[in-house]
Structures are given as C-alpha cells and as structure tokens.
Amino acid sequence: MSSEKPNLPLQDGASRRSFVKAFSAAVGANIVFGNLIPDGVVPVAMGQTPEPFSIPGKPGLTILNDRPLNAETAAHLLNDAITPASRLFVRNNGLPPMKVDADSWTLSIGGESVFNPKTYTLKDLKSKFENVDLALTLECGGNGRAEFYPPASGNQWTIGAVGCPVWNGIRLKDVLEDCGMKDDAVYIAYHSADRHLSQDPSKDAISRGVPISKAMEAESMIAWGMNGEPLPSHHGYPLRLVCGGWPGSTSGKWVKQIDIRNQVHDGTKMTGTAYRVPKYPVKAGATVPDEDMEIIESMPVKSLITFPQSGVEVNLGDSLKLNGHAWAGDYEVASLSLSNDFGQTWVEADLKKPVNRLAWQQWSGDVSFPKKGYYEVWARAVDSEGVSQPMLIPGWNPKGYLNNSCYRIAVYVV
C-alpha cells in the first residue's frame, strides 16, 4: 500500500538527511536506502492500522460504510489462490432485497435490440445452457481511492476491494444468442432487485452494463454460485453478472433483467463522473466537464503482497520469502518484480500463469538485505502489453478511480 503525502519537502543534502533521520525515529529503526526514498513518500510502517473490525460471515474485513454496506479485506487475508467467500470484499450501492426466493426468481431478457424477449427461471438457466466454472478477478473501480490527494469522494478503499473466487454459472453470450440480437445492438444493461437508499421503488440503486463485445466474451457470466456453493447474500444471491477484469460495478448483483440496447446504456451510475475518468490528464483537484469523461473499461495492471504481513521482522543474513497475486484487467501479467531499495533495483519473482483467462496470477520470490534496519519491499507488475504499475499514484481523477501504484510492505531487519 502506498502512503504518499503531498508536498513533503524532501530535498538533497541536509534537509533530506534530517527528514530521513526523523522517519527512522518514527519507524523505530534506521531506514536502509533512506537516501533513495522518492520525494513525497512516507514509510509504509507509519500508515499501519490496528486489526480491522468484523461483520457476520466476514471475519477480519474492515467496514467502510454501513448504509450501503461496503467492506474491504486486508492484504494478508487474501493469500488464497482462490478467494473464499468469507474474504471477498463487499460493495453495495443500495439495500439488498428483503425477501429472496430462488425457486421463483426469474431473469428477463429485453431491450430495443432483442429479437425474442424471454424470461427464464433459475432452473431454466441451469438446465438449458452449458454450466461453467471460472476463476475471475473482481475489483472495485475505486480500489485505492484513499491514497489520492486532494481526497476524492466515495468509499475510502485502501487495497482490499479485490478478489478472485471461482464463479459457477453459464456464459452470458449463450443467453443473449438464445434470444437473438439485432444488428444495431451495442450494449447490454442490467436491472437488479436491490433497493435505492431512499427506498423509492421508482429509482434504481445502480444500473450499469458493458459493450456487446465484452458481453460476448467466453468469460462473461451469469452466475448463481461461488466456489461451488450458492452465492452468499452479500454477493447477489441468487443470480448475478460477472464481467471479469472490468470494474466490479459492471457485475450487477441480484440481477432480474438484462436489456440488449442500441445505445450506450444511460442507467443509474452510467453518466456524469460515475465510473468515469478524464479523457486527458488533469490538475489535481480540477473540475472536469462531464463531456470530457470516459467510461472505465479494462482495469489496469496491479499486484499485492499477501505474505508476509507488513511490519515483519527478519534476522540479518536470512532471506525473506514473499508471495502474492497480480492481475491486469483484460490482459495477462507478463512479469512481477520486487525491490528493497525504493525502486532503484529490481529482482524478478516467479510468476504463474492464470488458471483461466481473467483470473489473477500467483507469484513468489525471495529478497535479501545487506544490513540491519528498516526496509520496504515493493512489488511491480508488468502486463502483456508492456504496461507497468507506476511506483507512485497515477494521474488524479475526480472520483479516485484506478489507483494501481506499486504495493509495498515494511520490513525490519534485526
């Protein structure tokens, strides 16, 4: 997790040395490679927080908001290759449906660009179409928002709004093809049973979608299960969309209707600044006209160190074994490197291939340290297009989306 603060006057010479000395006192050890700390970076150890709160069925998750419920997972709790339901973040936009009867649940396909509108029961979906099980990475578009400065509005996610369970269901494209799409089809849109916070039945809590090209990918799913069990109530029971590699907001929960549209969907949280970023770089804190914003599609390359937990102690002479995950939206991760000197040098870690397209990838590596003191280990992923994680926070945007700066942990060598 990056902990950058704005306008810290780290400079060459005496001024820089005095700040490194002050930081060393704060973290309780001499900061090895302290002269290499990038301007504006505060040691990650200074940003560590106590153990998170718990919610029923989600031990260890940190609650960011309770109306609607939003909770994230600490990095060290995400060490599993396949994310258990108990460790998957919760992102709600409204209030979950009060009464759910899976036996009577239906999914309707309609819209301007459908040839044969149809309604399916859950039993119909399970029996009529090929069942598939896919590990798909789900990440909130605002994951990392807490690190932007000036602060961006919204839930202040740090790093834990991501996971990669195995989803059980059917391919979205099979259902769309069963109903038939007209030549002018450009987008699909979902409508769900969650309630607007005002509880006004005429308002949607959220209604988003994806272009037809994304909907027709073999990895875009209508899911009824997670890790071989029915969807938990927090995650859309009994039916949801899963569009791996794109913002989690495209993977509507409690889905009741999917429309095939002849235009980009204009539902709730599809317009204005919602899940959009500027088309061009902007000054931090700037107001950006709506017409200069574009919809977020593929998520950027990113990585986590999930073991060990930040703050670990290592004996001098011992190497530190680390592991974690890396992912890259629609792409594959090509390499994962580690640094213990604030990005001056990097060593390549062992990176596994994804179990299927759009699943995150596991990595492992070793780092050694030249002398006693405080260090930070940074992880940096590069995707199959040659795009690397930035060392520091990427370009500011009004809603604090797409922070994919390098993840880092504090290490004390004793």
pLDDT digits (tens, 9 = 90+) for 89-107: 999 999 999 889 999 999 9
Same domain for 95 and 212, yes or no, is: yes
> How far, in whole angstroms, is CA 394 from its chain's centroid?
15
Joined tokens for residue 311: 């703050």
Domain range holding 397?
1-47+298-414
What is the residue type of 354? P
Q: How sure is the predictor about 5, in pLDDT bands with cuts at 50, 70 and 90?
A: very low
Number of domains in the chain: 2
Q: Is residue 408 part of a domain?
A: yes
Is 90 exceeded by the pLDDT of residue 343?
A: yes
Model confidence at 28, in pLDDT bands (50, 70, 90)?
Answer: confident
Query: What CATH number should be reported for the domain holding residue 386?
Result: 2.60.40.650
Asked whether the predicted pLDDT for residue 52 surpasses 50, the reply is: no
Q: What mean pLDDT, rounded, does the chain reach?
A: 92
| Overall average pLDDT of the 16-31 stretch | 77
175 and 42 fall within a common domain: no
Selection from 116, 132, 224 nearest residue 170 by Cα: 132
Query: CA separation (Å) from 219 to 176, 214, 235, 347?
Result: 14, 9, 18, 33
What residues are paired with 223 via a beta bridge?
A: 169, 240
* Residues whose CB falls within 8 Å of the CB of residue 382, separated by 6 or more in sequence, listed in order: 301, 333, 334, 335, 336, 337, 388, 389
User: Is residue 52 one of the residues assigned to a domain?
Assistant: no
Same domain, 89 and 234: yes
Q: Is residue 30 part of a domain?
A: yes
Tell me if 279 is assigned to some domain. Answer: no
Which CATH number covers residue 151? 3.90.420.10
Q: What are the structure tokens assigned to 409, written together?
A: 């942990």
Q: Are residues 97 and 203 in the same domain?
A: yes
pTM to 2 decimals? 0.90
Do 85 and 101 touch, CB atoms closer than 8 A?
no
Contacts of 393 (CB under 8 A, 6+ apart): 2, 4, 144, 147, 148, 149, 403, 405
* Residue 387 falls inside a structural domain: yes
